[in-house]
Amino acid sequence: MSFETSRNFGESSAPHIASHAASHARIESNIMQSQIIKSAQNATQSAQTTPQINPQADQQKNPQTNPQASQNLPKSESPKSPLEQLATTLKSELAKSHLSIDEMHKLLEQNNAQELDLGIGLDVALELIKAQGLPLETDGAHYFLSTARVPLSEQRFCFVDIETTGAKPKECQVIEIGAITYQNGEIIGRFEEFIHAPHVPEMISEITGITSEMLKDSRRAESVLRDFKEFLGDSVFVAHNVGFDYGFLSYALDSHGFGALLNPRLCTINLARKSILSRRYSLQYLNEFLGINTPIAHRAYADALTSLKVFEIALKCAPSHIRTAQDLIDFSTGALKR
């Protein structure tokens, strides 16, 4: 589904999500389920460690501050929630093959799914996992990930980039989201919006050009994140150094009651490393080296667009036996050999 209308944000004119009754009804249901889970988990878990991102993420993300931006991806420093643990197990198993109904129940029993302290039944847990982005499907006899069956040309990808006030999502915030949905070689949707922030550090303004004045009339995080989650849907989340953007947005979404991201994810740094011979793999370097020449850098939509162009070039160099998004993800991580 493509969402595209125009909206002004200070000095930025950006597409915004159009209202669709069915889409809003779906996301409201997802949010309600997420809030139920959050309440149940709070009641059964006395303490939780807050997810954090590697403090070096700013340098990793910005080629100006670290040309070797692709060396290390930020990682969560806290244990996953029970629901995320279940989703991780399902992704791992279903990436290999489909599971019969009996095999699914056996897997859930083996992983103590009945004791996850979710406060809900397993069927509801599976539906919530789907609502948080995992493309889990069933044909009545088997469970499978759509990313392992849908032809690559028909797969919907969402290229995402964010600008933030710093590296740690617990202490900092997203100030701009740029995203592009892409399917069958065409852009089918665009999302670009500022998020209100009371203060933007001078260093961030120097890198991005975004100032507090530009954000003063922007919408609050909860409203923008709600719309971004709807825009993303169950697309494959793609970014250059995906661990940063995915981790930061997942924390922000979860903090505002929308649940953590469970979408499949693809890193264009990893994909480029596997398919393109280059001295360096930072986004800025590839932009020039590959002749993409996006004139703007360190702004969310422009960087998302550059990532998409890197993706297109990498696909042309990838092995011909890659048929699905799961094949491509496995190839990028080394799980699928050339």
Centre a 10 Å sphere on the Cβ of residue 23 and count the other Cβ atoms it contains.
17
**What distance in Å separates the CA atoms of residue 252 and residue 233, rounded to the nearest whole number?**
16
82-96 vs 101-110: helix crossing angle, rounded to 10:
140
Residue 53 has pLDDT above 80, yes or no: no
pLDDT band at 191 (very low <50, low <70, confident <90, very high): very high
What pLDDT score was predicted for residue 335? 78
What pLDDT score was predicted for residue 124? 78
**What distance in Å separates the CA atoms of residue 286 and residue 17, rounded to the nearest whole number?**
30
Question: Side-chain half-sphere of 111: how many Cα atoms within 13 Å?
Answer: 19
Helices (H), the chain: 21-44, 57-61, 82-96, 101-110, 122-131, 202-208, 212-215, 221-232, 242-255, 268-275, 283-289, 300-317, 325-333
What pLDDT score was predicted for residue 183? 98
If one compares 67 and 309, the residue with the highest pLDDT of the two is 309
**What distance in Å separates the CA atoms of residue 23 and residue 72, rounded to the nearest whole number?**
37
Average pLDDT score over residue span 281-308: 97
Two structure tokens written together for 31: 């949010």
Residue 65 has pLDDT above 50, yes or no: no
Percentage of the residues of the chain whose pLDDT score is greater than 90? 60
What pLDDT score was predicted for residue 114? 54
C-alpha dist (Å) from residue 25 to 115, 120, 261: 31, 21, 19
122-131 vs 82-96: helix crossing angle, rounded to 10:
80
pLDDT band at 111 (very low <50, low <70, confident <90, very high): low
Residue 337 has pLDDT above 90, yes or no: no
What pLDDT score was predicted for residue 117? 55
pLDDT band at 67 (very low <50, low <70, confident <90, very high): very low
Asked whether 201 and 165 are in contact (CB, 8 A), the reply is yes
**What distance in Å separates the CA atoms of residue 123 and residue 305, rounded to the nearest whole number?**
38
Asked whether 268 and 318 are in contact (CB, 8 A), the reply is no
Two structure tokens written together for 149: 């069956």
3-state secondary structure of 243: helix
Average pLDDT score over residue span 233-247: 97
What pLDDT score was predicted for residue 96? 79
Average pLDDT score over residue span 111-118: 57
**What distance in Å separates the CA atoms of residue 278 and residue 55, rounded to the nearest whole number?**
27
